Amino acid sequence: MRPADSPLPDDVETLKRLVLARDAELARARAEVSSAEALIAHLRLAIEKMRRELYGQRSERKARLLDQMELQLEELEAAAAEDELAAATATAAAGETPVRPHTRRTPSRKPFPAHLPRERIVVPGPTTCTCCGSGRLAKLGEDVTETLESVPRRWKVVQIVREKFTCRDCEKISQAPAPFHVLPRGFAGPSLLAMIVFEKYGQHQPLNRQAERYAREGVDLSLSTLADLVGGCATLLRPLYDLIRTHVFAGDRVHGDDTPVPVLAKGKTDTGRAWVYVRDDRPFGGHDPPAAVFFYSRDRTGDHPERHLHGYGGILQADAYAGFNRLYEAGRKPTPLVEAACWSHARRKFFVLADVTTKARAKPSAVAPLALEAVPRIDAIFDVEREINGSPAAERLALRRERAAPLVADLEIWMRAERVRLSRHSDVTKAMDYMLKRWAAFTRFLDDGRICLTNNAAERALRGIALGRKSWLFAGSDRGGERAALMYTLIQTARLNDVDPQAWLADVLARINDHAIRDLAALLPWNWTPAPTSLAA
């Protein structure tokens, strides 16, 4: 590098080279700074994750902080890559040999999935030696560089040609039978139907937006046509919905919850409800597959859960919704349900009062010291539960009685002692009463290893509807709500079993009309085996 105090040359070409060298030097310095910032952000994120693993999740603010740090790291990594590329370009323009003074640690790339089809492009090798010019070359090997590529969606029309033949003797016409259609007189193939249904209910894209996107791609499908296709698929797939519902209520324990769903009415929108019941035996080592069944109703009266759970006599893990109370009564037939409360709902009431960050953004208000003390007490119980998640029910029960029971007993003694000192109008009092009035339901997990500590399984199942409301705004009618419940059941059950919902729906729609009704269970997500051709597609 040229010394700073040396005189500048008079030659224009030399000056240009100096300017290019200075630009390359600045670009390399900028790349080093960006790489250092990305490294610092990476280390800070790793430290926070290690603290969280060592000491547990002390507050929900930590989770939001980690999300923010990961987003910041993503931006810094992108900026560092951009600066490194600019430095390499500037160095090449200056005619210098690129030397990397600092190497940014990047994550190692996993190999591409084996099921993806490979397109082999062979670059012709030299015909003569690049050194001596001899034509006597022998192949030594080859280097393969793999690049992941995505091909935009391509539409096609499948023409099935049926030839006609006439008999020279009897003059009768012979022809192969008409092809199979998923829907009567249908023109859409099973893959197209699965895509439309999954986009609407799995990706929350209303049919009008799908129609607009298809039109831009050169395929004109009207809104009414798409609606007819969705309605036909719902009718065709209803037997699978009935099988999943039977499977869910055959379990020893189900999670139950509901969420509001706006429904279009005359000149307004009413508030309907989407109900979900989830069977997931994996937390206590069960081998039966998980599943979720959805229902729709126009209101939130207690008659609906009574109808949904008619004939069921197991454990209901739910919040403190009053509509479930009649299910726990002793005179219920066939047997009363066993109530198991959700500790996440109870913790939330204390956490809202102790959330310093939220209160700082809102109007100034004092943080409740008792709520601030209740949150870590409850978190200690959650820490025990995380360690035993997935263990058999008997093992979970033994560890709970050994480690969690003393924490629960201390929490009850502390709350009852503090409760008598508080006003009945205090927010902390309401949070304590929520637990103390239902203490038998909250502590039932100490007597049964099958019971979970929370109702988060049902909360996760409803998350898609909560997010989708911002996209599709409301259901068009009660029939639309019932149809949505059917489709949500199929899609959510496929996700719970780690099955691609769209690929599964496409294969089921192609096979269900010709499938034996007695063996319909073979098409359920946990029994379904994808064909290799489906994976390649």
CA distances for 94 relative to 17, 24, 34, 140, angstroms: 6, 7, 21, 36
Cis peptide before 392 (omega within 30 of 0): no
Task: Compute the average pLDDT of residues 123-143.
Answer: 83
What pLDDT is stored for residue 475 in this prediction?
64
What pLDDT is stored for residue 140 in this prediction?
81
Strands lying side by side in the sheet with 268-279: 291-297, 268-279, 253-265, 315-317, 338-340
| Separation CA 161–CA 64 (nearest Å) | 59
Torsion of CA 488, 490, 494, 497, to 10 degrees: 100
CA distances for 238 relative to 231, 243, 244, 246, 273, angstroms: 11, 9, 10, 13, 20
What pLDDT is stored for residue 380 in this prediction?
94
Residues in the chain: 537
| Separation CA 476–CA 262 (nearest Å) | 9
Q: Are 315 and 254 in contact (CB under 8 A)?
A: yes
The three-state secondary structure class of 178 is: coil
Q: What residue type is 513 in one-letter code?
A: N
**378 has pLDDT over 80:** yes
Q: Are 284 and 393 in contact (CB under 8 A)?
A: yes
What pLDDT is stored for residue 537 in this prediction?
39
Weakest-pLDDT range from 50-54, 178-182, 307-311: 50-54
What pLDDT is stored for residue 364 in this prediction?
46
**121 has pLDDT over 90:** no
What pLDDT is stored for residue 344 in this prediction?
94
C-alpha closest to that of 471 among 262, 272, 223, 206:
206
| Separation CA 405–CA 384 (nearest Å) | 10
What pLDDT is stored for residue 516 in this prediction?
84
C-beta neighbour count of 23 within 10 angstroms: 17
Task: Compute the average pLDDT of residues 167-173.
Answer: 87
| Separation CA 497–CA 395 (nearest Å) | 25
DSSP 233-268: HHHHHHHHHHHHHHHHTTSSEEEEEEEEEEEEETTE
**Between residues 442 and 85, the one the model is more confident about:** 442
C-beta neighbour count of 113 within 10 angstroms: 8
| Separation CA 52–CA 62 (nearest Å) | 8
Helix count (H) and strand count (E) of the chain? 17, 7
pLDDT in tens, 405-434: 999 999 999 999 999 998 888 889 999 999
**pTM score:** 0.76
What pLDDT is stored for residue 74 in this prediction?
53
What pLDDT is stored for residue 13 in this prediction?
76
pLDDT in tens, 294-352: 999 988 899 999 999 999 999 999 999 999 999 999 989 889 999 999 999 999 999 88
How sure is the predictor about 361, in pLDDT bands with cuts at 50, 70 and 90? Answer: very low
DSSP 394-451: HHHHHHIIIIIHHHHHHHHHHHHHHHTTS-TT-HHHHHHHHHHTTHHHHTGGGT-TT-
**45 has pLDDT over 80:** no
Task: Compute the average pLDDT of residues 228-253.
Answer: 93
C-alpha closest to that of 273 among 260, 262, 257:
260
**267 has pLDDT over 50:** yes
| Separation CA 443–CA 91 (nearest Å) | 68
pLDDT in tens, 473-492: 566 678 888 899 999 999 99
**Between residues 182 and 109, the one the model is more confident about:** 182
**Between residues 98 and 46, the one the model is more confident about:** 46
Q: Are 270 and 262 in contact (CB under 8 A)?
A: yes
The whole-chain average pLDDT of the chain stands at: 82
How sure is the predictor about 3, in pLDDT bands with cuts at 50, 70 and 90? Answer: low
| Separation CA 308–CA 298 (nearest Å) | 14
**Between residues 91 and 182, the one the model is more confident about:** 182
C-beta neighbour count of 276 within 10 angstroms: 27
How sure is the predictor about 455, in pLDDT bands with cuts at 50, 70 and 90? Answer: very high
What pLDDT is stored for residue 222 in this prediction?
86
| Separation CA 46–CA 48 (nearest Å) | 6
